[in-house]
Chains A and B, each alone.
Chain A
C-alpha cells in the first residue's frame, strides 16, 4: 500500500472541477482507486455468470462475447422488476442538491462522484434504449451507447459509493443512489465483474455460515476464548450456548464481532449482558453471520445469505431473533428480510422481552429485534445495575451508521443506552449525525486495504466532524452500532483525529454493568487498567488474576 498523504495534503490534492464534459473523461485505473477483482474459483463456486480472471488495469476485461446484449437485457429486466429504477431514471431534474452531500464527492471532488452524475452514468444508457427523446436526439439529449469504457466507468463508480443513502435524504424526489448502485453492481455481475473483498465473504458465508469462513468448531473455540477473557475481567464466566434447541431467543450478530478487534469486545459485552440477565438464548454456528455481503452483490444473493436466519430459527424452534450491532445487516433485516424469506417460521412469535415484558410491536412480523432496542428497554425499566463512572475516563461521541440511520431510523435507542452507561457524551455537529450522518467511507464492501487512500477521502466528512469534537470538547472515544464501522473507524480516527478510540455500544454497556457476584473491576473489557482504581484500592488487583 502506498504511503498516505497527510490530511492537509489530501484535501489540497483534490483537483478542481474541469470544464470538460464528463462524457469525454474516462476513469484511470490507478492502483488504490479500485478494489481487487473477485477470483475465478470464487465466482465458479457461487455459480456467478462468466467467472474469469481479469485485471482492472488491463485493456481487456475478459467480458463475454455478447456482453452488450447481456447488459442491455439485464438492464431491461431490472427496469421491469424495480419501479424505483424506472422512476429514478426518469425524474431527476439535475438540481444538484445531492452533489456535496456525498462523502465520496467531498473527498475526491471527482464530478462523477456527485450522486447525480453517478446515476447519470446509467441514465445516459437508459436514454438511448428506453426514452423517445434519447432515441431520436442521441447524444444531444444526453444519451450514449454501451462500450467497454462505459462498463469500466460503471465499475469504477459503483465501487465508489457506499450505498449510504445520504443523497436520497436531500433529494426532492427521494432518488436513492444506493438503489442505483445496487442495480449497477448487479448488472456488472452479469458479465462476471465483481470484487474480491465482497465475493470472498459471500462465498464463505454461503458455505460456512459466516463471512470470515470460521468453521463451526473454530467458532466455538473463539467464543469460548472470549468468554475466558470475560472471566478475567469480571470474575464471571458467561454462558456460551450454541445451537441449543428450544431456546427462547436466537442471537445473531456479524461474524466480525467474534473475530476482529475491537468488535470482539462488543461480543464480550453481549455475552456478559445475556449472562447477567440469565437470558434463555442461543448462538448458532450455522447462522453465525448477521451481516450480508450478498446485499452488496445482488438482491438474490442477499436473499440467499439471509435465508439461514429463519431456517435456523425454525430448526432450533426459537421464539424470536435478537440481532447484534451491525449496519447493513439491519437495512436487510428491516427492509428486505421479511420480503425475501418471510413469513417468519410458524414457531416464532412476536417478540416480547422476557425481562421487562415489553412487546416489540414494531417487529411483530419480522420477529427480529435490534439489541439497542432491547437494551434501551432494559435500562428504561431499571433492569440493569449500571455504574457509568467506570466509563468516566472516556468522553464519547456517537457515530450513526448509515443503514440504521436511513434504512431503519434507529437514532435514539443507542443514544439512550450510551447516555446511561457513559457520563460524558458529546454529539458531533448536527449536519453529520442522525439522519444526516456521514458514512465511515468504507461501507458496502469497500472496507479493503488496497483502497485505503480512497477510504480516507470518503471518510473525510466523518473524520473532520470527529476532529471538531475532539479539539473542542476533548472527545477521545467514538461509539457505534456497526461491525463494519468497528473495522473502518479506527484507521479513520487514527488518520483524521488521532487519539480517538472506537468501540461498539455493548462494550461500554458491559464495562458499566455491575454483575451479580463479580469481582472488583480493575480493567475494562480490553484488559486495560481503569484509571484511578489501583491507587485507591490496591487489594482489588488480586481477584483479577
Chain B
C-alpha cells in the first residue's frame, strides 16, 4: 500500500519538478498525447486479445427462474432467454451494478439464539454497491465536466452539468458535489482495503496503485479549482492548442506546476489502464456468464474447436456384455450365436 502511495507521490514530484524546470511541454504535451494513444491502442489491443478466443459454451449464470412452462413466471432480466432480455440484464449490470446490489455479509455463529445451536445470519450489505456506484458515476460526471476545457464554445450540456453539480451554491468558485463525493468514495474504497482484514489479505499493489492515483488526481484537481486557483482561461488556451496539435508553449510556461502534476497523474492512469484490472470497464461487456441468453436447450451453441466424438459405442458395449444381456432378456442388435460367427 505504501509503495503504491510513494509511487504516486514520486510521479507527482517528477511532474512538478519537471514542469518548473522548463519541461512543461514534455509533461503538458508529449506525455498526455502518448498516454491517450497508449490508452486507445491498448484497449483495442486488449479487446482483440479477448475476442480472439472463442466462447465455446453457453454458460450464463442464471440469476432467476428460466423460461419454461406457460404458468411459471420467468425472471426475464436475471435469467434472460432472449437477446432483448440479455440487453436489459447487461444494462442493469453495467449501469446499476445489479450483481453487487445482491451483496450480503454472512455472520457465522457457534450459538445463535432461536436456533438452539449454530447458525448463520446474512445481513444486507450495500455499502460497496453504493460507494462503487457513486465513484463510477461521479467519475463519469467529472470527466464530462472537463469537456469545458476541450471544446469551444462550451457545449450547453456541460454548462448545465456544472449548474446541477454546483446546485448547493457553496463557496466561490462554486463547490462541485461530484468532486467531493468522488473523493469520499475513493477513500471508502481505500479504507475497506486497509481496515477490512479479508480485503487486506487479497489486495495487491495493483489494487492500491490505481486508488492512490485516482485520489491524487482528484486531490490535485480540487486544489487547482478551490485553493491554487489556477488561471482557468490560460489552461483552456493551452489545452485547446494541444488538441489542435499546435501547443502554445507561452501559455504552458505560465500555468502553475500543480496543473502538470494533475495532468501527469491522469496520463499515468490512461497509460496504465489497458494493462491492469481497470480493463474491467470493457471486459464486463465480454463476460459470458452475463452476456449470453439462457436458451442453450432451444438454440444450439456452437463450439469452434469441438473435438470429434470418441466414446464407448453401443456396439462395443454389446460386444462386451452380450451373453449377460441375452441371459437378462435384454433385446440385442446381434444374437450371441450370430455375433460369434
Residues of A that sit less than 8 Å from B by CB: 7-8, 11-12, 14, 17, 19, 22, 79-87, 90-97, 99-101, 106, 111, 114, 116-117, 120, 131-133, 137, 140-142, 165, 168-176, 179, 206-207, 209, 215-217, 220-221, 242-245, 285-286, 299-300, 303-305, 307-308, 311-312, 315, 333-336, 338-343, 358, 360-366, 368, 373, 376-377, 380, 405-413, 416, 429, 431-432, 434-436, 460-461, 463-465, 467-468, 471-472, 496
Contact = CB atoms under 8 A, between A and B. Distances in A.
Contact of B114 (A171, A334, A339, A472): A472
Contact of B202 (A94, A131, A305, A464): A94
Contacts of A93: 207, 277, 280
A133 B275 CA distance: 7
B330 A242 contact: yes
Interface residues on B, range: 35 or more
Nearest to B109: A11
Interface string B253-295: 0000000000000000000000111011001101111100011
Contacts of B312: 206-207, 209, 308
Given A84-B59, A90-B279, 8 more contacts: A8-B117, A86-B50, A97-B128, A120-B202, A170-B99, A176-B289, A209-B317, A315-B314
Given A339-B57, A464-B118, A373 B68 contact: yes
Nearest to B196: A96
Given A116-B202, A380-B69, A471 B114 contact: yes
A227 B287 CA distance: 48
B58 interface: yes
Contacts of B330: 216-217, 220, 242-243, 285
Contacts of A117: 201-202
Contact of A362 (B49, B50, B297, B321): B297
B311 to A, nearest CB: 4
A165 B61 contact: yes
B144 interface: no
Nearest to A224: B328
A413 B72 contact: yes
A299 B75 CA distance: 29
Contact of A340 (B67, B132, B306, B328): B306
15 contacts: A17-B197, A81-B56, A94-B199, A94-B203, A94-B207, A133-B275, A141-B205, A142-B204, A169-B61, A209-B312, A300-B307, A307-B311, A315-B333, A411-B64, A468-B119
Interface stretch (B100-108, B167-175, B229-237): B100-108
Nearest to A245: B331
Given A8-B111, A11-B108, A111 B54 contact: no
A380 B69 CA distance: 10
Nearest to A109: B108
A447 B51 CA distance: 37
A304 B309 CA distance: 7
A221 B119 CA distance: 44
Contacts of A175: 287, 289
Contacts, number: 341
A207 B320 contact: yes
A464 B115 contact: yes
Interface of B: 3, 46, 49-59, 61-69, 71-73, 75, 78-79, 81, 93, 97, 99-100, 102-106, 108-112, 114-120, 122, 128, 132, 192, 196-199, 201-207, 275-277, 279-280, 283-284, 286-290, 294-303, 305-307, 309-314, 317-318, 320-321, 324-325, 327-331, 333
Given A83-B54, A334-B297, A460-B108, A90 B198 contact: no
Nearest to B277: A93
Given A174-B99, A220-B330, A406 B120 contact: no
A116 B56 CA distance: 23
B314 A311 contact: yes
Contacts of A406: 61-63
- Of the candidates B50, B297, B313, the one having the most CB atoms from chain A within 10 angstroms of its own CB is B297
Nearest to B120: A464
3 nearest A-B pairs in the assembled complex, by CB-CB distance = A409-B66, A409-B62, A91-B283
A307 B62 contact: no
A428 B313 CA distance: 44
A334 B109 CA distance: 37
